[in-house]
Amino acid sequence: MRKPIAAMMMLAIVATAYSNITSCTNKTAGSSKDANQSYEISYDLSFDIPEKYIDVDMTYIPTGKRQETVEFKLPVWAPGYYIIIDYPKDLTGFDAKDQNGNPLSWEKKGKNAWVVETADTVHVSYRIFSDFRTVAECRVEESAAFVPGNGVFMHVAGDVNHPVSVGFELPKSWSKISTSLEQIDGRYVAPDFDVLYDSPFLLGNQLVKAYERGGHIYEFALETPQGFEESPMAEDFLKAVDQAVAIFGETPYESYHLLLLGEGRGGLEHQSSQADYTAGHWDFATRAEYLDELMFLTHEYFHNYNVKAIRPIELGPFDYDRENFTTGLWFSEGITCYYESYLLMKAGIISDQEHLDIISDYIRNTQKTEGRLHMSMRESSYDIWLNFFNSNANHSATTISYYVKGPVIGFLLDARIRTMTSGAKSLDDLMKLLYDRFYKDLGRGFTEEEFWAAAEEIAGGDLDMVRHYVDTADEIDYESILTPAGISIDRESWKMGRI
């Protein structure tokens, strides 16, 4: 394994380039003594396929005044996956040596930190168990590996804002590495750990298909490509991309990468990429199955704008050691659910009535969930850390997901804005305002009050009628918002139609 950091001299250039395309989070260095050190840090990974482990070698080189010890930390969660995973549970075999191979003393601190004696060069090694089939955890198999960075790469405590490089030693039978990170001199470089953690890797022999659209490259990396090249999936996805770009007038990335994994469930948004488990094939038997997959990819794509760029202020800079609470996930996730079919309708892939039918399904599922009477959307957002995988017997009776009711609120907000402005404005205008004002101009997220002030600025009046259904668990009076917007709703079937 190659330990020297051949690409380190290029990292400053990469960091400058990335600053123009990555999410603004007002990053500041931590206050710990370790964060004030000058150092270089790099990683080299190899794979133990039979035992399903990733072997990790980290090289840390102090370049300024050396402290007696350095503290390294591993995250306990991944942004977008709102549950404490406790990645350190998968780590074993921690060891530290100096440049001559002599042992360095170290001790564990809490559940996710290691304090290590320093030397001219510190070599840290450990193994990560990788037999998970979720988009936030590692997987190593005979044919491929999926490596999301949060559970693999340690950062110096208090300093995620530091450049880092990663190299791989691949099994002889593997030939490809797919990621959104730039490769320099055979190594993958990130301007800081936020970007590294937001840039998963797919390694193996995946089919890679690249398409140009609007001056940007969209790369599909498919672990199980059966039927993809015969499918209109790529073109339809890019049509949805066109509609999203038309709303904002630009893309917050230079190139975009879809890591499309084998059969499984779940997807996760990343800056400039997405990682999704799929049906395991692309030759769908029905139109409904095809549209479900297309909306899934569109959902994760739209997160580039809504949550990676436009975000509640609590969602960045991230604290990787604990929960990051916010009351705004009904917007970040629920509105994105609304847009996944809205963009397809705008692209002409589905009809206006099909779009209404999809939202009708959300309304129907909301109305049959007793938890709607006990949990508001603000509470659903804040308590997601308790309910992400809650399977308690009383779950549906006491809670409701923002993935279910959130898109309903998004639809009602859009309808209300259109009514109040006689069709001159829509939710699109609010999204553009939030993007320009908070992401581009201020470089931060919005507070709850700033969000509603921006929404009312677009609507030209108060939106208390809609906000009430976000803040409370009161039953929704659908007709009061939908009828003035020219939309009917049948309370027996919860099906909507144009009047």
pLDDT at 136 over 50: yes
Q: What pLDDT was estimated at residue 257?
A: 98
* Second-level CATH architecture of 8-200: Sandwich (2.60)
Residue range 450-469: average pLDDT?
Answer: 98
Residue 27's pLDDT band (cuts 50, 70, 90) = low
Q: What is the mean pLDDT of residues 322-351?
A: 98
pLDDT for position 13? 36
User: Which is more confidently placed, 50 or 29?
Assistant: 50
Q: Are 234 and 258 in contact (CB under 8 A)?
A: no
Peptide bond into 317 cis (omega under 30): yes
Report whether pLDDT(325) > 50: yes
Query: Mean per-residue pLDDT for 255-277?
Result: 97
Tens-place pLDDT, residues 87-123: 999 999 999 999 999 999 999 999 999 999 999 999 9
Q: What percent of the chain has pLDDT over 70?
A: 93
pLDDT score, position 119: 98
Kindly tell me if the per-residue pLDDT of 311 is higher than 70: yes
Percent of the chain with pLDDT over 90: 90
The 10s digit of each residue's pLDDT in 362-411 is: 999 999 999 999 999 999 999 999 999 877 878 889 999 999 999 999 99
Q: How many alpha carbons fall within 13 Å on the CB side of residue 433?
A: 17
In the prediction, which pLDDT does 5 show? Answer: 34
Mean pLDDT across 6-15: 39
Reported CATH class of domain 210-498: mainly alpha
Q: How confident is the model at residue 15 (pLDDT cuts 50, 70, 90)?
A: very low
Its pTM surpasses 0.85: yes
| The predicted structure's pLDDT at residue 12 | 39
- What pLDDT, in 10s, does the model give residues 31-56? 344 555 799 999 999 999 999 999 99
Looking at the predicted structure, is the pLDDT value of residue 264 above 70? yes
Q: Is the pLDDT of residue 14 over 90?
A: no
Task: Map out the domains of the chain as residue ranges.
Answer: 8-200, 210-498
